[in-house]
Amino acid sequence: VAAASARKAKLAFADAVERIGRLQQRVQNVRCPFFRRRFTDALETAHSVLLWLAARHKKLTILDPGDSLEALFPKPREALGSARCSEKQRGLELEALAAIIRDDFVTRRYYVTGQLSRSIYADNCFFDGPDPDVPVRGLAKYVDATSQLFDRRSSKVDLLDLKVRDDDPAGPCILASWRLEGTLRLPWKPRIKPYTGTTTYRCNDEGLICSHVETWSISAFDAFASTLFGPGIGAPPAPPVDQLLADLDARRKAG
Highest mean pLDDT among 24-28, 45-49, 61-65, 163-167: 163-167
Name residues whose C-beta falls within 8 Å of residue 19's C-beta, 6 or more positions apart in sequence: none
63 DSSP 8-state letter: P
* Strand-pair partners of 253: none
Cα gap 55→69, rounded to integer Å: 8
pLDDT for res 75: 54
Length of the chain, please? 255
pLDDT for res 226: 87
118 DSSP 8-state letter: G
What is the pTM assigned to this prediction?
0.71
Least confident segment among 22-31, 62-71, 82-91, 104-113: 62-71
What CATH number does the domain located at 94-254 have? 3.10.450.50
Nearest to 114 by CA among 188, 45, 36, 60: 36
As a whole number, mean pLDDT of residues 32-49 equals 72
- If one compares 78 and 236, the residue with the highest pLDDT of the two is 236
Residue 21 banded pLDDT, cuts 50, 70, 90: confident
Mean confidence (pLDDT) of the chain? 82
% of residues, the chain, pLDDT over 90: 45
Hey, CA dihedral for 41, 45, 48, 54, is it positive or negative? negative
Name residues whose C-beta falls within 8 Å of residue 238's C-beta, 6 or more positions apart in sequence: 179, 181, 193, 194, 195, 196, 217, 244
